[in-house]
A and B are shown apart, each in its own frame.
Chain A
Amino acid sequence: MSFITRGFSGRRAERDPRLPPGQTLVGDWPVLSAGPTPEIDADEWEFVVRTENGDHRWKTAQLQALGMEDITVDIHCVTHWTKLDMPWRGVSLDRIFDEVETAHDFVMAHSYGGYTTNVPLEDLLDGKSWIAFEADGEPLTPEHGGPARLLVPHLYFWKSAKWVRGLVTMPDDDPGFWEQNGYHLHGDPWQEERYW
């Protein structure tokens, strides 16, 4: 239940309807990480999907050969900033899961550096997520997750795991690193699913 703050009027011009509640528009692209930026050799990079049926592996060129798409999406960080109309380039998870059989409904995304985040498969498929290699027309820089990151723009951006190395399917929605450290299990910005 909110109350009016004495003397506060805000500095908004008009609020863009694409801004979820509690978010503020930014023009730059802030960085949020729990630890140091890992150094990853793009030539050595490999993407793995591990299911109950075994492993699937792709080197960069193999993964990109599944079909690179250009998309423009809005991204929403739990720390209250939103960046609109951001161009990305990557491979849809639909293309990747065309080659994968699993009865599991959830995945844990794993990153170089050891960080993890959990996502329901239904939040990854049907044009909802990508393995992204480029942003703003440039290869992803290390501090923004390069050489590749998961991109799940309809969820808060910590779900878009930087330095992604693979997905492990799982029968239950077990919490990942951020979700064990205070962030919401799901993370829908329109529902303000920020914290526990």
Chain B
Amino acid sequence: MTRRPTAWHTATVVDVRPETPTAKRLDLDVPTWPGNDAGAHLDLRLTAPDGYQASRSYSIASSGDGTRVVLAVDEVPDGEVSPFLVHDLRVGDEIEVHGPLGAFFVWMPPADDDPRPVQLIAGGSGVVPLYAMARAHAVAGDASEFRLLYSVRTPDDVFFRDEIAALAESGAVDLDLVFTRSSPPEASFPPGRLTAERLRDAVVPAAHNPRVYVCGPTPFVEAVSRWLLDAGHRPGDIRTERFGGS
């Protein structure tokens, strides 16, 4: 595996648009970016005029060798960095980013002779690194089976809604959306939390030896990984990432 060098970079905001009612998508131009694997994250640093700095980690929604880096930032109420990014950041602003980070919670296209099914399981904004993996899979056109199980409050809260719908429509990814608060009329289930049974029905069976990536809030990740173990998935095949804090 080649390691991409990790360093501080200057990023220029080239696009800001609403992602959900509480989140913004940020497109950054980072001329010195070495590219990143799907699922990687970065540290983002803001500096006040008096030298005060605040840093946070964000998953990267984009992947590959390009210098365009896409983030999707959900506002944490009473947070310090995310409210600034969601409300105050404008096209043309410059910020510092450090990365790419993380060599474990990443997906790379397998060698041609070794496709392996992949099950992605997202809770809320935890879909960001998993969307990067799904898109990388579609771009690579590899033969791995890909499924995404995505638990989200309402249809309006779906991150990368059009992109994920297109991935599902093209057949690159099997999509299963679980709406916990309100579901669209065409949904086949009433709104409600993900359960062990629904998870077991939706995911690639353990017998097919999938690699499973889980990302979301800690209680979600804890519950999902316990259900996966109960359903026969091996601990070493389950990779988790959690978010929390401000």
Contact = CB atoms under 8 A, between A and B. Distances in A.
Interface of A: 1-12, 15, 21-22, 24, 26, 28, 30-38, 79-81, 113-114, 143, 180-182, 194-196
A30 B244 contact: yes
B242 interface: yes
Interface stretch (B45-53, B159-167, B184-192): B45-53
B57 A36 contact: no
Nearest to A22: B55
B245 A180 contact: no
A15 to B, nearest CB: 7
A30 B242 CA distance: 9
Interface in B203-246: 218, 222, 225-226, 228-229, 235-236, 238-240, 242, 244-246
B119 to A, nearest CB: 14
A5 B94 contact: yes
Interface of B: 3, 6, 8, 10, 43, 45-49, 52-57, 80, 84, 88-90, 93-96, 98, 101-105, 218, 222, 225-226, 228-229, 235-236, 238-240, 242, 244-246
Contacts of A26: 245-246
Contact of A32 (B43, B94, B222, B242): B242
B242 to A, nearest CB: 6
Contact of B48 (A4, A114, A181, A196): A4
A40 to B, nearest CB: 12
Contact of B88 (A8, A12, A38, A81): A8
Contacts of A4: 47-49
B166 to A, nearest CB: 31
A34 B105 contact: yes
A10 B46 CA distance: 9
Nearest 6 Cβ contacts at the A-B interface: A36-B225, A181-B104, A181-B103, A5-B46, A30-B244, A11-B80
B49 to A, nearest CB: 5
A79 B43 CA distance: 9
A36 B45 contact: no
A80 B93 contact: no
Contacts of A33: 240, 242
A2 B47 contact: yes
A196 B218 contact: no
Nearest to A114: B236
B80 A143 contact: no
